[in-house]
């Protein structure tokens, strides 16, 4: 018999870690206690489990996030990291999904593929536009990434035409708040959310490339897939196509100089990469969905990447050596 219940860190962590490493991969960020502690510091965050014979066989996460639609502020439940033990069948996943959408707030899910994507459609979710591309770039020293130091990263940022800042730099809060203001999130809930998302201890390392007007912003993270480092673009603000292209080119230079050969362009805003930069679409394009049992949503809107789990797989400055 399957028992569906909330995660209890004190009693469930060891079993949860084993489940994650089996299904997400060894050393996955989902299993890191620092990551879970950061998630749990957001009081709205939850982990729902499917448990059989005292073993975790399925899970999903959720947290409340701010969303702008037609300049109006909304609070959505953002679901992420839905996973079911491959040996236990799809009915557990369906039950977890059904529990996930039974929220008082509208629900968003980004990056769904395959059976999960089809199941959300069957449950009545509406697909909205998102963009998933990638690009392989030339780097002189692909091993350099594995010996990175924070000081070297900052020196590269200073060498590039546009402004770069990360949420782990000292005295960065003023710049970051100017960037957040560009997203026009000015209500109290959103302010508290971004404090958690960017400034809470153990929050993922996040970079911002931006122009002086703060009207063009490229937000990205750095992570590993296996032993291959990647740079993931997770959000874009665009006022000028030309400036956006310049920011993305600068981001490519940044990646090349620190030994990253792959750029992933995975955003939930409806802003595709400039054609001149020759990004390639994912072969199996992930989908993003919204669900509400109280309000109808069309597919003619986009959601900022900060409202999803995009970038949660980022490395920390202090965690680079440890993770590798």
pLDDT tens for 275-293 read 999 999 987 778 888 888 7
pLDDT at site 143? 64
- Whole-number Å distance between alpha carbons of 274 and 21: 37
- Whole-number Å distance between alpha carbons of 196 and 191: 9
- The pLDDT tens digits of the residues spanning 121-169 come to 888 888 888 899 999 987 766 666 666 555 555 565 555 668 888 898 8
Torsion angles phi and psi, residue 155, rounded to 5: -65, -35
DSSP-assigned states of every residue in 67-97: EEETTEEEEEEEEEEEEE-TTS-SHHHHHHH
**Strand pairing partners for 236?**
218
pLDDT at site 323? 35
- The pLDDT tens digits of the residues spanning 209-237 come to 999 888 999 999 988 877 788 999 999 99
Instruction: Say what percent of the chain tops pLDDT 70.
Output: 87
Q: Does the domain spanning 2-129 belong to CATH 3.40.630.30?
A: yes
Residue 322 clears pLDDT 60, i.e. is over it: no
pLDDT at site 64? 94
Which of these, 272, 245, 309, 261, lies nearest to 47 by C-alpha position?
309
Residue 70 clears pLDDT 90, i.e. is over it: no
Tell me where in the chain the CATH 3.40.630.30 domain(s) lie.
Answer: 2-129
Handedness of CA 85, 90, 91, 95 (dihedral sign): positive
Name the fold adopted by 132-285+310-323: Aminopeptidase (3.40.630)
Model confidence band, residue 171 (pLDDT cutoffs 50, 70, 90): confident
Residue 313 clears pLDDT 90, i.e. is over it: no
pTM of the model: 0.88
Residue 13 clears pLDDT 90, i.e. is over it: yes
Residue 183 clears pLDDT 90, i.e. is over it: no
Q: Listing from the earlier edge strand, what are the strands of the sheet with 207-210?
A: 163-166, 207-210, 217-225, 228-237, 262-267, 131-136, 280-281
- Whole-number Å distance between alpha carbons of 317 and 204: 9
Q: Listing from the earlier edge strand, what are the strands of the sheet with 126-128?
A: 2-6, 46-52, 55-69, 72-84, 107-112, 287-291, 126-128
């Amino acid at each position: 018999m399957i028992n569906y219940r909330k995660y209890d860190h004190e009693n469930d962590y060891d079993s949860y870690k084993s489940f994650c490493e089996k299904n997400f991969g060894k050393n996955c960020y989902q299993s890191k206690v620092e990551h879970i502690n950061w998630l749990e510091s957001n009081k709205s965050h939850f982990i729902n489990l499917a448990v059989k014979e005292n073993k975790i066989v399925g899970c999903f996460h959720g947290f409340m996030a701010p969303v702008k639609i037609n300049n109006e502020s909304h609070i959505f439940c953002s679901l992420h990291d839905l996973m079911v033990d491959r040996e236990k069948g799809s009915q557990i996943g369906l039950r977890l999904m059904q529990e996930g959408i039974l929220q008082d707030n509208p629900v968003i899910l980004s990056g769904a593929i395959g059976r999960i994507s089809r199941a959300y459609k069957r449950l009545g979710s509406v697909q909205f536009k998102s963009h998933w591309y990638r690009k392989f770039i030339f780097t002189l020293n692909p091993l350099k990434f594995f010996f990175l130091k924070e000081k070297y990263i900052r020196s590269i940022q200073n060498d590039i035409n546009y402004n770069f800042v990360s949420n782990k730099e000292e005295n960065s809060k003023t710049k970051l708040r100017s960037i957040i203001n560009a997203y026009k999130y000015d209500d109290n809930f959103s302010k508290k959310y971004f404090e958690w998302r960017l400034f809470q201890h153990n929050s993922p390392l996040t970079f911002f490339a931006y122009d002086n007007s703060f009207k063009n912003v490229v937000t990205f993270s750095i992570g590993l897939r296996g032993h291959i480092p990647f740079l993931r673009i997770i959000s874009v603000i665009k006022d000028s196509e030309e400036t956006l292209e310049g920011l993305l080119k600068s981001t490519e230079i940044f990646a090349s100089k620190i030994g990253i050969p792959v750029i992933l362009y995975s955003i939930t805003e409806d802003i595709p990469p400039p054609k001149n930069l020759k990004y390639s679409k994912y072969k199996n394009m992930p989908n993003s969905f919204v669900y509400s049992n109280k309000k109808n949503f069309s597919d003619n809107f986009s959601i900022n990447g900060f409202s999803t789990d995009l970038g949660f797989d980022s490395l920390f400055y202090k965690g680079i050596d440890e993770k590798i």
